[in-house]
Amino acid sequence: MGHNLDFANIEEEFKKRFKDDELGWRVLNSFQRNNKTYVNLVAYVDSRAIMKRLDSILGIDGWDDIYEEINDGFKCGIRIWLTQDQSRTKWDGAPRTDFESVKGGMSNAFKRAANKWGIGRYLYDEKLVSTELLPQRGNDGDYKYFQDKKKDIKGYFRVPSKSQKSKAQIDPPARDESDQELEKIFEGLNDYEYKLGLSNKPKLSVKIFNRANNITDNMNVNQIDYIHNKASKSELKNYYVALRPLYNICMAATKFEISLDEVLKYAQIIKPEIEVTNVFSLLFQLTNDEVKQIFEIAETEYNNNKKQAM
């Protein structure tokens, strides 16, 4: 059990990066640039790769997974054993899915619990990969098919490798304006929207964009394309600045290995005058100094917890 590793060493092993062939890729969103269609991709690790890692580090008898049904989903705990009497369990949950609701919900809960152990957590901090959507499958690598019926687009994207990821981050698709600052704003917005879950919430994105730019007209949600493709540099910068404190709050949770709910409790201490119910309740409410204070509280708690675990 545990291959004679202690908890600290086990967690270090858990946090190692996965190989390219152990990762999957999904399309987060699409956009137009210079009459070409591009997709933003995010990497994920599936349950089988996680199980393989657990087996290789702990042995097949060194861990087990526990499930409980909760509300409209499942709660999963991954328990690791160092001895027959000593173990530790970390939990997380997920709702049922639209397809194969039970199997999908349990699988997602398992992956989230693995993330609590640090397995694949680094993927949340990876930059998005932008690549062109092509009408035909190429012969220079592994290609996947993608279709978005709502936008009436379809095509093939090349599955990224490590070298492709580096290139995509350094050399994003060309835009109408040759402006390095604008490119950095777009890169930052891609990361911010992904981390905050806005990529799948166009109505909320439009609402935040409007408020950041004092736009009172009621923009149709389809105008999310306006934000990504036509908005002015100053409008994008205002949107970027509005999202940055919320992104930093999420990053505090990742950096100090705690839940976002825990970080929000620290935010409530700093902002007693408002009711902090979720990260978006802090929109337009935080100064840079207040974000720094929240980070300091989270770091102090993190260091205290590490001392107690030793």
Cβ neighbours around 135 below 10 Å, total: 8
- The pTM of this model reads 0.58
If you search the block for the tokens 């839940």, which residue do you land on? 259
In the DSSP assignment, the letter for residue 3 is: G
294: left (phi over 0), alpha (psi -120 to 50) or beta: alpha
Phi, psi (5° rounding) for residue 172? Answer: -70, 165
The CB-side HSE value for 129 (13 A sphere, CA atoms) comes to 24
Tens digit of each residue's pLDDT, the chain (310 residues): 545 567 778 888 999 999 988 998 988 888 777 778 888 888 899 999 999 999 999 999 999 999 999 888 999 999 998 888 888 899 999 888 877 889 889 999 999 999 989 999 888 777 778 888 999 998 888 899 998 887 788 999 999 875 445 444 434 444 444 567 877 887 788 888 888 888 778 888 888 998 898 876 655 545 677 787 778 888 889 999 999 999 999 988 888 888 888 899 999 999 999 999 999 999 999 999 999 999 999 888 888 776 665 5
| Domain extent listing, the chain | 1-59+108-173, 175-310
